[in-house]
């Protein structure tokens, strides 16, 4: 599938939480790339709505769901065999920060032939496609992580 990317929960949270450190960058990226078709999985929608409700409130959760309904994201359904592949991915990466929602995105990328994700973290630098290459993170390999200041030494 050309010109498509699977969206992780991080950018979706940032988009609907104006206080999020990544909000402006994610909003700008989406504005500047209207040609990229965003896809995601039900697991990511579930994760996003739960986190929005807890961090921002139920109004943000509802805004997000209505945005999805209006076509902000297309939901990718599980296919026969998808759960088996997700289990294999979770098992393979069980010692790394690659959770169930991440695994559903990786499975969908492989099944649909999509090589790009939209993420604010480095989880997808870990995963390898059948070609041996990592998925392309359109937000730039964790580039949106806030910089941590070096600890100050007290003399």
56-111 pLDDT tens trace: 999 999 999 999 999 999 999 999 999 999 999 999 888 887 889 999 999 999 99
- CATH number attached to the domain at 4-137: 3.40.50.1010
Q: What is the CA radius of gyration of the chain?
A: 16
Distance from C-alpha of 145 to C-alpha of 97, rounded to nearest angstrom: 15
DSSP 10: H
What's the confidence (pLDDT) of residue 64? 98
Closest-CA residue to 104 (of 127, 121, 125, 120): 127
Given a cut of 90, whether residue 42 has pLDDT beyond it is yes
Mean pLDDT of the chain: 87
3-state secondary structure of 146: coil
Residue 1 has what pLDDT? Answer: 65
Rounded to an integer, the average pLDDT of 23-30 is 96
Average pLDDT, integer, range 117-134? 83
DSSP letter assigned to residue 40: E
Q: What is the pTM of this model?
A: 0.85
């Amino acid at each position: 599938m050309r010109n498509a990317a699977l969206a992780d929960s991080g950018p979706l949270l940032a988009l609907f939480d104006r206080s999020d450190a990544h909000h402006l960058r994610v909003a700008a990226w989406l504005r500047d790339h209207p040609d990229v078709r965003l896809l995601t999985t039900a697991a990511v929608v579930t994760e996003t709505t739960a986190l929005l409700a807890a961090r921002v409130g139920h109004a943000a959760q509802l805004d997000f769901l209505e945005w999805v309904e209006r076509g902000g994201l297309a939901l990718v359904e599980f296919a026969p065999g998808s759960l088996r592949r997700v289990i294999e991915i979770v098992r393979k990466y069980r010692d790394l920060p690659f959770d169930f929602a991440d695994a559903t995105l990786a499975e969908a990328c492989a099944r649909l032939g999509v090589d790009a994700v939209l993420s604010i973290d480095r989880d997808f630098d870990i995963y390898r496609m059948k070609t041996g290459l990592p998925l392309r993170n359109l937000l730039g390999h964790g580039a949106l992580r806030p910089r941590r200041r070096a600890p100050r030494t007290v003399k």
